[in-house]
Chains A and B, each alone.
Chain A
Amino acid sequence: MNTYSMYFFTIILIGISFKKDKIKTKKALKKAWKAFSNILPEFLGVIMLVGILLAVLDPNLISNLLGEESGWIGVIISACVGGITLIPGFVAFPTAAMLIKNGAGYMQIGAFISALMMVGVVTMPVEIKYFGKRLTILRNIFAFLFSFIVAYVIGKVVGGI
Chain B
Amino acid sequence: MKLLKRYRFFLITVLIIVVMTIINKSLGMKALGVVEYSLKEMILVIPPVFVLLGLLDIWVPREIMMKYMGEGSGLKGIILAIILGSAAAGPLYGAFPVAGVFMKKGVKFSNVLIFIGAWSTTKIPMFLFEMSALGTPFALTRLLVDIPGIILIAYTLCMLISKDEMNDIYRKAELME
A residues sitting closer than 8 Å to B (CB atoms) are 1-3, 6-7, 9-10, 13-14, 17, 24-25, 27-36, 38-39, 41-52, 54-56, 58, 86, 88-90, 93-94, 96-97, 100, 106, 109-110, 113-114, 117-118, 120, 123, 125-127, 129-132, 134-135, 138-139, 142-143, 146, 149-150, 153-154, 157-158
Contact = CB atoms under 8 A, between A and B. Distances in A.
Contacts of A130: 96-97, 99-100, 169, 172-173, 176
A138 B157 contact: yes
A106 B149 CA distance: 19
B9 A41 contact: yes
Contacts of B75: none
Interface of B: 6-7, 9-10, 12-14, 16-17, 20, 27-28, 30-35, 38-39, 41-42, 44-55, 57-59, 87-93, 96-97, 99-101, 113, 116-117, 120-121, 123-126, 129-130, 133-135, 137-138, 141-142, 145-146, 149, 153, 156-157, 160-161, 165, 168-169, 172-173, 176-177
A158 B135 contact: yes
Given A6-B48, A35-B177, A135 B169 contact: yes
11 contacts: A3-B48, A6-B45, A10-B52, A25-B58, A33-B54, A50-B35, A89-B129, A109-B134, A113-B130, A114-B142, A138-B157
B42 A35 contact: no
Given A38-B177, A150-B146, A43 B133 contact: no
A117 B120 contact: yes
Contacts of A52: 13, 16-17, 20, 31
A58 B20 CA distance: 15
A13 B52 contact: yes
A28 B59 contact: yes
B89 A2 contact: yes
Residues of A contacting B: mostly: helix
A30 B50 CA distance: 10
B56 to A, nearest CB: 8
- List of 4 A-B pairs having minimum Cβ-Cβ separation, nearest first: A32-B54, A48-B13, A93-B133, A51-B35
B156 A33 contact: no
Contacts of A32: 50-51, 53-55
A8 B12 CA distance: 37
B55 A93 contact: no
B48 A10 contact: yes
B165 A51 contact: no
A158 B140 CA distance: 10
Contacts of A9: 48
Contact of B145 (A34, A127, A149): A149
Given A10-B51, A47-B35, A47-B39, A150 B96 contact: no
